[in-house]
Structure 1
Amino acid sequence: MKKRVLKWVRRYYTNVVNSIAFYPALIALSFLVLSYLLLLFDFSEPGKNLKAKLLDFISLKDASTARTIASTIAGGILSLTVFSFSMVMLLLNQAASNMTNRVLGSLIGNRFQQIVLGFYIGTIVYALFLLSTIRDIDSGVYVPALSVYLLILLTIIDIFLFIYFLHYITQSVKYETIIERIYTKTLNELKSHCHLKTAAPLQLDLPDRYTDFTARESGYFQGIEQETLLNLCTRHNWIIRFHYQVGSFIVYGTPILSIYTSKPVSEEMEIQLDLALNFYRGEPIEKNPYYGFKQLTEVAVKALSPGINDPGTAILSLHALIDLLTYRFNHHPTRTIADEHGTERIILQEEVVEELFEKSIAPIWDYGKEDRLLQTAMQQMLLQMIPLVKTEEGKALIQAYYQKTVQS
């Protein structure tokens, strides 16, 4: 039961962290703690002395004035937050309508806008908590003057953040910015995933006897917990070969991998193996760089649809895809994972680069082959790509596709 709870937590961890509310919630909690600590100092003897003697010129002696300041700021920043959230929702709606729903994950996960919204909410939380502590007394030393002046400072920072946020959100709504963000994230993950100059041949001598392991649930296969799975393979002297690549949708009961072992696999072992496999929805590029190829293809296809009719955006996506595909043709992933003793224990199923090229380029060409702008851009990109690809198979594939675009 405990292990299944851990798997459930692991499954939803990515969704929670990438949620638009995650960082705002953390920042708001931090502001709440800050307000509590500052109020403790405000009402402590050093705080009273500081207000009464050293900083007498900024002492706030009127409790009603302090309450008015806090309430006014809380209401004003609340309006600012609603307006900013509305702008973010407008951006998400426009991106989903004109590009693809898949880009929403990248936009929602943008850290800057989450930090700005969190700063707004944190200021509101700070002001509301401060309101509950202001007392109507004769002596001004019990009015939290230091906390009030910090609130004013936070409000000034909020205003400047809002001004910059307006500029940032207008830049973020541009299609080239969204495409560039997807491209950069995909390229970084691709460099981490594919770092071999030549494809490493699979030279494992697999035993004849094996046991198929079927999927315990339907869902998208999102990878493995490498350390857990390696320990399991080492402990039971297993070699595991996956049948599907990361990102594939697996139907319940489908054999997802084979366990090469001469010993029977118990139900307890299968439960432990299932806990090392990740199944959840979504297309996080951080987990699988090939999601970025799919998103760029969908952006291009959506831009070429009759309802949008924006070949310029499709060409921007095509440029990004050609650059990513060129890198992938010349760099290859590691197909096996070895344990600490150097014994290869896990054989992964990787995306074949020729198939990746077909899945990325063919839909764009099918939708846009009648568009003169896209025809010209496709031919130019393929011509540039041919001499850059190092493998003969890759050159032949791109050359054949170039001839296809010329003859159409």
Structure 2
Amino acid sequence: MKNFLNNTVKYFYKLESKIAFYPTILSLTGTIFAFLMIYFESLGVSDYLIKKAPSLVVNDTETARSLLTTFVAGLISIMVFSFSMVMILLSQASSNFSPRVLPGLISNRRHQVILGVYNSSLLYCIFTLVSIEPNGNKYQLPGFSVLLAIFFMTLCLAAFIYFIHSISQEIQINNIMSHIASVARKRLKVLIDKQIEKSDEFPSTNDWTTLNSKKSGYVQDISLSALASLAQKKEIQLEVIPVKGTYVFENKPLIKLSKAIDDEAIEKVLSSFHYSKSELIEDNYLLAFKQLTEIAIKSMSPGINDPGTAINAIDYLTDLFLLRLQKKDKSEYRDDQDHLVIIINTVSFKQLLFNVMSALRTYCKHDVIIVQKLMFMLLSLLNNQKNACEHYVDAIKQEIENLYEDAKNSLKNSSDLNLLKTTYNNTIKD
């Protein structure tokens, strides 16, 4: 039951990131509320209110029709404009920054809710307009429902003003990078807090039973609790072969088991792997490093030429690398009895630093200011090595050497070379 609930929560979380999720829920809510108000009107709610509080009831058929017709036309215009703004935001983010930032922008809950408020109010106004009797009198006219439509339209106008403010902030690259770094920081802190100081000796997996993937796709999430429960029940240990976020091909190794299990258990093991076409930092903090690196590289392209953005991206990368120093390269998972049952292959700090630096070196080595900024980033990592869980110093020093060598061969101006040499000597000395 626990595994079922965990899988349900994760499925809901994936569904929640879709741009149509909240608009669909709120649209259904608006439709249901419209029919509920039609039912209350049939019971005479407007008849009652016109006697007790006449100011709460719109008691003129033509006025009600005009108001609702205007609301429907106005809401359609607002929705078209808002959806157009969202598409412009996504298009600009994809072309100017990186296509990989789109899932994070699409999953913005505020914009989804605002679009849902528009659609639900529109549907409410349409059904209320249809419910007006052609020859209605003051008892048949849904006067109170029309008053609620005025309230909903006012709410939509307020939401539209907030939407304009939010979309203007969301499209700024500094806010995009800040959001990416913030989500990755939260994810890293969760992983660091879950680390166990003790580490059991995990046996060699060379002779273990290997299960192959039944389909191709990006492994974005793994139900570790379900795997641990199965491992405890079958008295086995597991090794997850692919790194989270990598593309797994059909019939290629997916997981290793310490001993063979029955077909039903194999199906449970394979069903614990969740494939996805989209990439969310909430599931895999490595995507933040990839996205920030791509933003920095894109900003240094001749068509954009924005070194300021590259410098900001390096600042966020430095912050994340300082936090990554505190995380072990080895990922483990224990069952309820604190037994080590799963070992998970992850990207090591050395490999992660190389992936980021190799890309930045290739596209930024001609700019001495960016090279100097990268030197300062590596120096910051060296100065904070005491926070590292493992010995990462050699990897950092190697990247300093690689950066210096590439920049020295790329720069031609003597002043730039002198500045580079001074920065390098200060970094090595420190």
CA gap of 1:141–1:78, structure 2 versus 1, over 3 A, is same
Q: Is the 8 A contact 1:73 1:127 kept in 2?
A: yes
CA gap of 1:399–1:333, structure 2 versus 1, over 3 A, is closer
Which residue type is aligned with residue 19 of structure 1? K
Distance 2:134 2:42 in 1: 14
Say which of 260, 267, 271 aligns to 1:271. 267
Q: Is the 8 A contact 1:245 1:351 kept in 2?
A: yes
- Write the mapping of 1:276-291 to structure 2, written as runs, cut at 5 A: 276-291=272-287
273-282 or 142-151: bigger deviation = 273-282
Kindly report the root-mean-square deviation, in angstroms, between the aligned alpha carbons of the 2 structures.
Answer: 2.5
Report how far residue 383 of structure 1 moved.
Answer: 2.3
Answer 1 or 2: higher relative contact order, Cα 8 Å, separation at least 6: 1
268-277 or 331-340: bigger deviation = 331-340
Report how far residue 249 of structure 1 moved.
Answer: 1.4
Distance 1:31 1:47 in 2: 20
CA gap of 1:157–1:247, structure 2 versus 1, over 3 A, is same
Report how far residue 122 of structure 1 moved.
Answer: 1.1
Report how far residue 223 of structure 1 moved.
Answer: 3.0
Partner of residue 378, structure 1: 374
Deviations 1:266-318 (A, max 9, x none): 33332222112222222111211111111111111222222222222122111
Partner of residue 173, structure 1: 171
CA gap of 1:278–1:108, structure 2 versus 1, over 3 A, is same
Q: Is the 8 A contact 1:321 1:360 kept in 2?
A: no
Partner of residue 323, structure 1: 319
Q: Is the 8 A contact 2:205 2:256 kept in 1?
A: no
Deviations 1:24-59 (A, max 9, x none): 1111111112222233233324542112x1122343
Report how far residue 361 of structure 1 moved.
Answer: 2.4
Which residue type is aligned with residue 235 of structure 2? N
Partner of residue 79, structure 2: 81
Distance 1:379 1:272 in 2: 48
Residue 24 (1) aligns with residue 20 (2): no
Report how far residue 396 of structure 1 moved.
Answer: 3.4
Match of 1:336, SS state, is strand
Match of 1:318, SS state, is helix
Match of 1:142, SS state, is coil
CA gap of 1:204–1:58, structure 2 versus 1, over 3 A, is closer
Report how far residue 229 of structure 1 moved.
Answer: 1.5
Deviations 1:98-126 (A, max 9, x none): 11110000110011111111111111111
Which residue type is aligned with residue 73 of structure 2? G
Residue 295 (1) aligns with residue 295 (2): no
Q: Is the 8 A contact 1:189 1:286 kept in 2?
A: yes
Q: Is the 8 A contact 2:329 2:347 kept in 1?
A: no
Q: Is the 8 A contact 1:330 1:389 kept in 2?
A: no
Deviations 1:236-269 (A, max 9, x none): 21111122221121122222221102xx433333
Which residue type is aligned with residue 339 of structure 2? T
Question: Unaligned regions of 5+ residues in structure 1, if any?
Answer: 1-5
Say which of 171, 183, 186 aligns to 1:185. 183
Q: Is the 8 A contact 2:17 2:106 kept in 1?
A: yes
Distance 1:144 1:120 in 2: 21
Residue-pair matches, total: 399
Report how far residue 196 of structure 1 moved.
Answer: 6.1
Taking structure 2 as the reference length, the TM-score comes to 0.86
Which residue type is aligned with residue 28 of structure 1? S
Match of 2:202, SS state, is coil
Taking structure 1 as the reference length, the TM-score comes to 0.90
238-247 or 135-144: bigger deviation = 135-144
Q: Is the 8 A contact 2:329 2:349 kept in 1?
A: no
Deviations 1:147-166 (A, max 9, x none): 11111111112112212221
Partner of residue 63, structure 2: 65
54-63 or 180-189: bigger deviation = 54-63
- Write the mapping of 1:218-297 to structure 2, written as runs, cut at 5 A: 218-261=216-259, 264-297=260-293
Say which of 102, 107, 110 aligns to 1:109. 107
Partner of residue 3, structure 1: none
Report how far residue 9 of structure 1 moved.
Answer: 9.2
Report how far residue 94 of structure 1 moved.
Answer: 0.3
Say which of 340, 356, 369 aligns to 2:336. 340
Distance 1:99 1:302 in 2: 6
Q: Is the 8 A contact 1:387 1:395 kept in 2?
A: no
Distance 2:20 2:83 in 1: 11
Distance 2:360 2:205 in 1: 43
